[in-house]
């Protein structure tokens, strides 16, 4: 049997999370002790002397105990597939056969060495008749350890999913807060109201429309917060961004030029709430607002490799200007964190800075059932 110190010193890489923990190692050590006790009790009940019973229990329990440490690594490497389960079960059948053979070989070697040391021979007659019983017993052990390993993996996956959902919720709340902060920034409010004052005198109808648009911005953000939505349709997000751009034009006028193109059928696809707004606001802030002659922003939406790809490209990259992510803003880093939390590596955000401008490309998985166009 392995001592606790030996178990504690072994690497835990590849073990299911619950088993790799300290409590998991204690549980395995206690289970191994119970397994040894079972054999010892059975031998003593059969009238075998204590010394011989102890040696026999060790010979029977030690191979399974050592090999069990190897078995517990399998669930982390051999995951149940969504389809094609025949290969999965065939692999387990081969692994079970290998485990039974190795355990039986280990028992045979230990039993033969014990008999050689204490009895003077290599193997007592009739010892091999126990191989069949041991093989059945080892099969039960294999199934039990696999069940334990996959149960631990499933529990860990559920915990990870819950943690990701919790993190996504926290990041969404942070994103909403940052958007509200940017919308309610004193300069934004002052500039907007300054433009509205001029409109009230020259075009009251347009001023009223602009006030309604400002209310639409706040209602959209508050609705996302109230409903706890991590994703929205591109149609809703673009309506929000269009309203934002209309208000920015009150002060930027013709300096702000925007073109939006989307392939057919993509407006009802999902994307992270406030995701497109973050990219467009970033382009306005870095590429249009600082330039006296303004700039152009092109927004292109298309399908690519099973993903919804949104490109926000501007023409305002100056040689001496800092790249968007070099500034003190938190919008793009926060969006990256949200993508990681919501899509678990299946989405990405890339910035391509060239001599003519910057292109921010956001890719998220297409909604289920959406066929590649």
Q: What is the CA radius of gyration of the chain?
A: 33
Q: Which two structure tokens, joined as six digits, stand for 101? A: 């053979």
User: What is the set of domains in the chain, with CATH numbers?
Assistant: 4-161 (no CATH), 184-365 (3.30.565.10)
d(CA 246, CA 5) in angstroms, rounded, equals 69
* pLDDT 10s digits, 158-203: 877 777 777 776 666 566 555 544 444 556 567 777 777 777 777 7
Residue environment code for 177-211, b if the CB has 16+ CB neighbours within 10 A, otherwise e: ebbeebbeeeebeebbeebbeebeeeeeeebeebb
Interval 224-262: pLDDT, tens: 777 777 889 999 999 999 988 988 888 888 899 999 999
Residues across the chain: 373
Q: What is the pLDDT of residues 66-75, one digit of tens each?
A: 888 778 778 8
Mean pLDDT of the chain: 77
Distance between CA 313 and CA 357 in Å, rounded? 7
- Whether 2 has a pLDDT exceeding 50, the answer reads no
- Position 259 scores a pLDDT of 94
Report yes or no: 54 and 114 within 8 Å, Cβ to Cβ: no
- Tell me: pLDDT of 44 over 80: yes
pLDDT of residue 365: 92
pLDDT (average), residues 10-24: 53
- Chain mean position to CA 233: 22
Residue 136 CA to chain centroid, in angstroms?
A: 39
pTM: 0.52
Range in 34-38, 123-127, 253-257 with the lowest mean pLDDT: 123-127
Structure tokens at 85: 């389960």
pLDDT score, position 21:
60
Residue 7 pLDDT class (50, 70, 90 cuts)? very low
Is 360 exposed, middle or buried (CB count within 10 Å of its CB: 0-12, 13-18, 19+)?
buried
Query: What residues does 177 pair with on adjacent strands?
Result: none
C-alpha separations of 89 from 81, 84, 337 in Å: 10, 10, 37
User: What count of other Cβ atoms lies within 10 Å of the Cβ of residue 132?
Assistant: 10
CA distance 130 to 105: 12
Q: Nearest-5° angle of CA 159, CA 161, CA 163?
A: 70
The pair phi, psi for residue 168, each rounded to 5°, is -60, -40
State mean pLDDT over 116-121: 73
Name the nearest CA neighbour of 252 among 209, 297, 301. Answer: 297
Strand partners, 231: 272
pLDDT > 90 fraction of the chain, expressed in percent and rounded: 15
Q: Report the 10 Å Cβ neighbour count for 70.
A: 14
- DSSP letter (8 states) at residue 296: E
Q: Check residue 129 and give its pLDDT.
A: 64
Residue 177: per-residue pLDDT: 52
Per DSSP bridges, beta strands 295-304 and 256-262 are: parallel
- Report the distance separating Cα 180 and Cα 125, nearest Å: 84
CB-neighbour burial class of residue 254 (10 A; exposed 0-12, middle 13-18, buried 19+): exposed
- For residue range 257-312, what is the model confidence (pLDDT) as tens digits? 999 999 998 999 999 888 898 899 889 888 898 888 889 999 999 999 889 999 99
CB 61 within 8 A of CB 134: no
Predicted pLDDT at 271: 92
> According to the model, what pLDDT value does residue 373 have?
46
- Look at residue 243 and give its three-state secondary structure: helix
**Distance between CA atoms of 98 and 305, rounded to whole angstroms?**
41
């Amino acid at each position: 049997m392995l001592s606790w110190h030996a178990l504690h010193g072994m690497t835990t890489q590849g073990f299911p999370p619950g088993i790799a923990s300290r409590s998991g190692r204690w549980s395995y050590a206690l289970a191994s002790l119970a397994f040894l006790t079972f054999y010892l009790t059975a031998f003593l009940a059969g009238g075998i002397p204590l010394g011989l019973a102890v040696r026999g229990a060790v010979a029977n329990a030690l191979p399974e105990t050592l090999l069990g440490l190897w078995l517990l690594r399998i669930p982390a490497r051999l995951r149940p597939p969504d389809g094609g389960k025949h290969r999965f079960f065939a692999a387990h059948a081969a692994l079970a056969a290998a485990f039974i053979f190795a355990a039986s070989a280990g028992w045979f070697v230990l039993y033969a060495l014990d008999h050689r040391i204490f009895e003077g021979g290599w193997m007592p007659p009739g010892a091999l008749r126990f191989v069949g019983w041991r093989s059945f017993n080892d099969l039960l052990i294999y199934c039990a350890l696999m069940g334990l390993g996959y149960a631990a993996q499933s529990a860990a996956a559920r915990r990870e999913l819950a943690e990701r959902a919790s993190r996504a919720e926290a990041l969404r709340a942070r994103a909403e807060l940052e958007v509200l902060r940017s919308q309610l920034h004193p300069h934004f409010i002052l500039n907007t109201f300054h433009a509205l004052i001029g409109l009230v005198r020259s075009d009251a109808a347009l001023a009223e429309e602009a006030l309604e648009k400002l209310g639409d911005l706040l209602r959209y953000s508050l609705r996302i917060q109230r409903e706890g939505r991590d994703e929205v349709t591109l149609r809703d997000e673009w309506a929000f961004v269009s309203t934002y751009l209309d208000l920015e034009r009150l002060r930027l006028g013709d300096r702000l030029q925007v073109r939006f193109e989307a392939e057919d059928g993509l407006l009802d696809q999902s994307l992270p709430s406030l995701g497109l707004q973050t990219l467009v606001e970033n382009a306005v802030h870095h590429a249009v607002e600082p330039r006296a002659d303004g700039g152009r922003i092109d927004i292109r939406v298309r399908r690519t490799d099973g993903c919804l790809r949104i490109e926000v490209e501007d023409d305002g990259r100056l040689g001496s200007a800092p790249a968007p992510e070099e500034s003190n803003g938190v919008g793009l880093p926060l969006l990256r964190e949200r993508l990681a939390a919501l899509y678990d590596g299946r989405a990405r955000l890339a910035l391509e800075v060239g001599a003519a401008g910057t292109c921010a490309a956001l890719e998220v998985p297409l909604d289920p059932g959406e066929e590649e166009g």
